[in-house]
Structure 1
Amino acid sequence: MQNKSDITGDYTISGRAYVGCDFEECCVEIVVEEGIIAEIEEKKKVPERWIFPGFFNSHTHLADTVAMDAEAKGSLSELVAPPNGLKHKILRETDKEVLKDAVSSSMDYMLNSAIFGFCDFREGGKEGVLTIKKAMDKKEIFGIILGRNGGEEISDGIGISSTKEGTHVITEASETKKKGGFVAIHAGEKNNSDVDQAIDLKPDMLVHMTHATDKQLKRCVDENIPVVICPRSNHILGVSSSSAHPPVGKMLEMGCMVLLGTDNVMFVQPDMFSEMSFLSYLYGTDPKEIMKMSVSGSEIFKNPFFIEKGNVAAFFSVIPGEYNLRFSHSPLKTIVKRMNSGLIERTYFKHIKK
C-alpha cells in the first residue's frame, strides 16, 4: 500500500485550517521547513481545502493483525488474557516474519488514514519488541512501543494487561518507572476490581476504564493520569452494551484527560475515523472533544500534532468540492462523523527522530 504523502523538503499549503488545540478555523498558508511548521500566515483568500491535524492512536495491539477476524468465541479472558487467551496462542504459532509483515501492513493502513503516531502494547518479550521495531524501520510513523515479559527493557516502557496478573507486574511497573520508562495499564475493562490497584501504581496512562466509578475517575483527575478509551472494542468484546460504559460524559465533566484508541486489530480495524464516528453517534460526545481525544496522545509523548507554529507538520487535507462534503455547515463535525480515508487529498508528515 502506498502512502498518499509524497511531500518532501520544504513546502507551503493553503486552505481552511483548524489551528491549535481548540481547532480554530482560519484561512491560512502554512509554511513547513524541515518537517516543522515554520509559519502560519492568515490569508484573505485561500483554495477550498480543509486542513486538519493528523491522529495519534493511543492504544493498539498491532501484532494481533495476524488474528484478524479469526473464529472467536468465549469470554474476554478466553479471547485475549495472557498467557493462554486465543490471541496469544495465535501469536505464538505465527512465524515472526509473518508477524512483521502483519504489523507493517497495519502501519500502512494507519498512515493512509492520517494516523501518524500510535502507542502499542507489544507481547512476545524482547523478540516481540524487535519485530515491531523492524516493521517501523523506514516508515514515516511515530511509534511508542510498550513491551512486557522483558520487552520493556528495550522499548519505551511497559504495557500491563492488568494488575490481576499478579504481584510481578507491580514490581515490573515500579522498575520501569525508576528507569524513566512509560507505564500504561489496562484497567476497568470487564469490571472495576483492578482499577484502584492500577491507580496506586501511579501509571502514566490507564486504558479502557470501561467500568470505572466516579471516585476512581476523580483519582485520575487528581493524579493527572490520562485515560484511553476504546469504545468499539468494548462493545465487540461484550464488556459494554450502552453509552454508560465507558462513562465518557462523566470523564469529560470531571476533567479527565481522555484519549482515543482502537485497541485490538484482531477485532477492530485501526481506523480513527470509524472510532470517532462510533463515539459521536453512540455516545453523543461533542465533535471538538472527540477530535481532541484523537490528537492529544501525540502531546503526551511530547510530539504534538496540533497545527501550531513550532510543532511537527502532521496534518491531512481534504478537497470538499470533489464530494458532497461541500454542503457541510461544520467541517469539524463532518470529519468526525462522516470522514473516511478515501476522501483524503493528501497526508503530510515526516517523522523527526529526537
Structure 2
Amino acid sequence: MHVEGTILAGRDFEPVEGRVVVEDGEIAAVEEAAVESENVVLPAFVNAHTHIGDSIAKEAGAGLSLDELVAPPDGLKHRLLRAASHEEKVEAMRRSLRLMASTGTAACVEFREGGVDGVEAIREAAAGLAIDPVVLGRETADAMRASDGFGASGARDAEFDDLRAETREAGKLFGIHAGERDPHDVDPALDLDPDFVVHVVHPEPSHLDRIEADEVPVVVCPRSNLVTGVGVPPLRDLLDRTTVALGTDNVMLNSPSMFREMEFASKLTDATATEVLRMATANGAEIAGLNCGVVEPGREARLLVLDGDSDNLAGAQDLVRAVVRRAGEADVTDVVY
C-alpha cells in the first residue's frame, strides 16, 4: 500500500510531495513524486506520559491542590479509583484509548495505578484497539514484572532503590516524577538513574547539569502543570540539554489530545514548531523504545493523515507550524497503523 500527499519526512519534518510506500507494516520508501492529493502525512503521535485510569473522573476536584488531587495513597484520584468497579475503570480507559487512537496517537506511556490488577485492566481496555500502550506498573514489583516497567510517583513518596534495581535487572523502563511542585525531589530521582523523568517544572542549574551530563530524557506536561498551579517547565533550558517529549498527564485534568498539548506548548513557550512536533512523535518513541515517530524507511508504518485542504488548514504557509498550532481532530482523514 502507499499513502500520498505532502509528507513531513525525517526528524526535521521536511515537506516532500510524494508517497509513503508501506510493506508488511513497515515504511519501505518515501518517494518524491507529483501527486494530486492535498493530504499531509506525518508520523503518528506518541503520548509520553498518561494516567488513563483518571478517565473515570474527568474534571473532578476543581480547586484542589496537586497533593489533594493526585498524591498517593489518598489523593482524590486514588479514592475514586478504589471506589470504581473493574468494569467501570476498563470502560473509561477504553474510551480514552479509543479517542487517542482515532486522533493519531499510536502509543502512550502509561503510569498505571492498581498493581497487577491495574496492569491487566489497561491491557483489557486496549484489546482490539490500534493504540499500543507502553504500560509502567506502579506500587509493587509484581506490577513491574507484569508490565513494561515501573512508573514511580516521586522520590519523596517512597524508597524506590530496590524496585529500581529489579526493573534494571529485568531490562525494563523506569520512569519517575520529579520537580513537579518544587526542586527538592529532583536529585533523589536522578540518583536512581532513571530512564526518564516526568515534569521537571522546577529544576535548579545543578539539576540541568546532571540531566545533560547523564543524558536523562524529560517528559513535560505543560497543560497539566498549569492546571495544578505548579508552573510551567523551562522548556528552552530542557531542550538545550536533553531529549524532551510531550505528554498529556491525567485525564482527570486534560483531554488526552496531542493536538491540544502541542498547540499549548508552542504558544506558551519559545520552542519551535519543529521541536514541538518532534517532542510529540520521535522523542516519545525514543524514550519508550518504539520504532516509530519518524517517516523514514525502516520505521513501523504508524502514520497520521490530515486533510491539508480542510477549512482549518487550507492556505497554510508553514505546514509544520500549522500542524502544531492549529490542526485538530476535525482535520484527521486517516490513521495508518
What band does the TM-score fall into relative to the shorter chain? over 0.9
Equivalence for 1:158: 150
User: How many residues get paired?
Assistant: 333
Q: Does 1:248 align with 2:235?
A: yes
- SS in structure 2 opposite 1:164? coil
Once the two structures are overlaid, the 10-residue window that deviates more, 141-150 or 260-269, is 141-150
- SS in structure 1 opposite 2:48? strand
Do the aligned residues in 2 keep the contact of 1:28 with 1:46 (CA within 8 Å)?
A: no
Equivalent residues in 2 for 1:317-336, closer than 5 Å: 317-336=305-324
Equivalence for 1:304: 292
Aligned equivalents of 2:97, 2:52: Cα separation in 1: 8
Pairwise CA distance, 1:19 = 0.5
Q: Residue deviations 1:85-111, cap 9 Å, x none?
A: 010000000001110001110001101
Q: 1:63 aligns with which of 34, 53, 71?
A: 53
Equivalent residues in 2 for 1:199-214, closer than 5 Å: 199-214=190-205
Q: Residue deviations 1:191-215, cap 9 Å, x none?
A: 0100001001100010000101122
Equivalence for 1:53: 43
Equivalence for 1:40: 30
Q: Which amino acid in 1 is paired with 2:147?
A: S
Q: Residue deviations 1:107-160, cap 9 Å, x none?
A: 011011111100000010110111011111121122110111221120011100
Pairwise CA distance, 1:24 = 1.2
* Identical-residue share of aligned pairs (%): 37
Equivalence for 1:217: 208
Task: Return the TM-score normalized by structure 1.
Answer: 0.92
Aligned equivalents of 1:280, 1:324: Cα separation in 2: 18
Aligned equivalents of 1:219, 1:73: Cα separation in 2: 35
- SS in structure 2 opposite 1:326? coil
Alignment RMSD: 1.2
Pairwise CA distance, 1:183 = 0.4
Aligned equivalents of 1:98, 1:113: Cα separation in 2: 23
Pairwise CA distance, 1:249 = 0.9
Task: Return the TM-score normalized by structure 2.
Answer: 0.96
Gaps of 5+ in 1: 1-10, 350-354
Equivalence for 1:16: 6
Aligned equivalents of 1:110, 1:26: Cα separation in 2: 26
- SS in structure 1 opposite 2:314? helix
Equivalence for 1:3: none
Aligned equivalents of 1:188, 1:299: Cα separation in 2: 22
Q: 1:77 aligns with which of 50, 67, 74?
A: 67
- SS in structure 1 opposite 2:156? helix
Pairwise CA distance, 1:252 = 1.6
Equivalent residues in 2 for 1:137-286, closer than 5 Å: 137-150=127-140, 151-167=143-159, 169-240=160-231, 245-253=232-240, 255-286=241-272
Q: Which amino acid in 1 is paired with 2:284?
A: G
Pairwise CA distance, 1:44 = 3.3
Do the aligned residues in 1 keep the contact of 2:61 with 2:69 (CA within 8 Å)?
A: no
Q: 1:97 aligns with which of 72, 78, 87?
A: 87
Pairwise CA distance, 1:46 = 4.1
Distance 1:207 1:21, change over 3 A: same
